[in-house]
Amino acid sequence: MRPDRAPGARSGDDESLHVTEADVADPRWEAYVTAHAQATLFHGAAWQRVAAATFPYRPHHLWALRGDRVVGLLPLFAVRGFPAGTTLLSVPLGVYGGVIADDAATARALLDDAVALGVRLGARYVELRDGFRFEELPAKSLYVTFRKEISPDPDVNMARIPKNQRRSIRIALKNGLTYRLGREELLEPFYKVYSHSVRNLGTPVYPRSLFRHCLREYGDTCGILVVEHQGAVVAGVLSFFYRSEVLPYYGGALKPAFRLAVNDFMYWSLMNEAAAVGCRVFDFGRSKVDSGSYHFKRHWGFEPTPLAYQYRLVKDRSIPDLSPRNPKFSLAIRLWRRMPLPIAERIGPTLVRFFP
């Protein structure tokens, strides 16, 4: 652990509350995440290692201590923005994050120290991706998440899916789609369909190294499912298995395979596999309100839950808008969609680190 001293540290006896920067390699970090009911996959030490290994983000993780006992924490990275400026973000590449703590006073102490750190670093703002809710902080209402309980019985899960989507799954089965499960041996075919899909959406693709780091850090709790048609991989999804939940996190499909109902087949297959190994929640992940993925998930019978992305402005005077819906990005998105895939795969990882 780094020296127990940080701006904003609270002095007093051994049991007084104090906040300091933390080393996630300290076993107390993971122990607290494991024990805390509101902790997510993205609070864990493994995610912090993945982010740091993939991009040049600077860790400034904070935790709150009473004596040697952890009572709250905030994973935090300094991220160099585009075209200029630094932000403090909890957490890069994640859809959830923010403060977790034993009580409101501890949560407030962590926020105060994060803001003090932002001032010292000359940050534009501090962004908290959900977590503890601070009423006074401005928040975006752009994102929602979709989560639903699943049964160990595939027939029960099928019955819970609305009629039109059940029909699509049956069409996919008639089309002869099959799937395979694996890990590193499926990374290359997965990446080809994933990069194709992301390029078609008009956004830069992540580097292969991100997925390689995920597979290595998470071991058997991270895997790849690919869908095949006539011997060729036409879709794939990289998923995490966490606390009896499955999170299909990075996925994509070749556009010509849409007519085969490939996405419905892929997520139905994953749901069955996850239920068979004990998962009881299917976390369909984040979507922008009223987007294509938003409606796709609703058609599966999932209901949206708002995500509070909270901001403490430091140098900026308004909440940033890095969404593809921002008109400033419309031309870049149109051009990116037309870019040859090999070029998009080459330069995308250089750009995407500015949009974590």
What is the predicted pLDDT for the residue at 83? 59
Q: In what order do the strands lie in the sheet with 69-74?
A: 17-21, 62-66, 69-74, 100-101
Give yes or no: residues 267 and 315 share one domain. Answer: no
What is the predicted pLDDT for the residue at 338? 73
Residue 12 pLDDT exceeds 90: no
Give yes or no: residues 205 and 89 share one domain. Answer: no
Q: Which of 115, 1, 116, 127 is nearest to 65 (CA)?
A: 1
At a CB cut-off of 8 Å and minimum separation 6, what does 346 contact?
none
Give yes or no: residues 30 and 51 share one domain. Answer: yes
Give yes or no: residues 52 and 157 share one domain. Answer: no
| Two structure tokens written together for 143 | 């994102």
Q: What is the mean pLDDT of the chain?
A: 91
Residue 7 pLDDT exceeds 60: no
Residue 14 pLDDT exceeds 60: no
Give yes or no: residues 123 and 175 share one domain. Answer: no
Give yes or no: residues 29 and 64 share one domain. Answer: yes
Give ∠ CA 355-251-45 in degrees, rounded to 5.
60
In a domain, 287, yes or no: no
Give yes or no: residues 119 and 187 share one domain. Answer: no
Give yes or no: residues 223 and 313 share one domain. Answer: no
Give yes or no: residues 213 and 242 share one domain. Answer: yes
- 166-176 pLDDT, tens digit each: 999 999 999 99
In a domain, 255, yes or no: yes
What's the CATH number where 137 sits?
A: 3.40.630.30
Domain containing residue 34: 17-141+308-320
Residue 316 pLDDT exceeds 90: no
State the pLDDT confidence band at 353, using cuts at 50, 70 and 90: confident
What's the mean pLDDT in 274-293? 95
Is 0.85 surpassed by the pTM of this model? yes
Give yes or no: residues 188 and 218 share one domain. Answer: yes
What's the mean pLDDT in 303-320? 90
What is the predicted pLDDT for the residue at 33? 98
Give yes or no: residues 108 and 179 share one domain. Answer: no
**Cβ(321)–Cβ(309) below 8 Å:** no
| Two structure tokens written together for 194 | 């994933």
What's the mean pLDDT in 118-143? 93
Give yes or no: residues 159 and 241 share one domain. Answer: yes
Domain tally for the chain? 2
What's the mean pLDDT in 175-191? 97
In a domain, 198, yes or no: yes
What is the predicted pLDDT for the residue at 8? 45
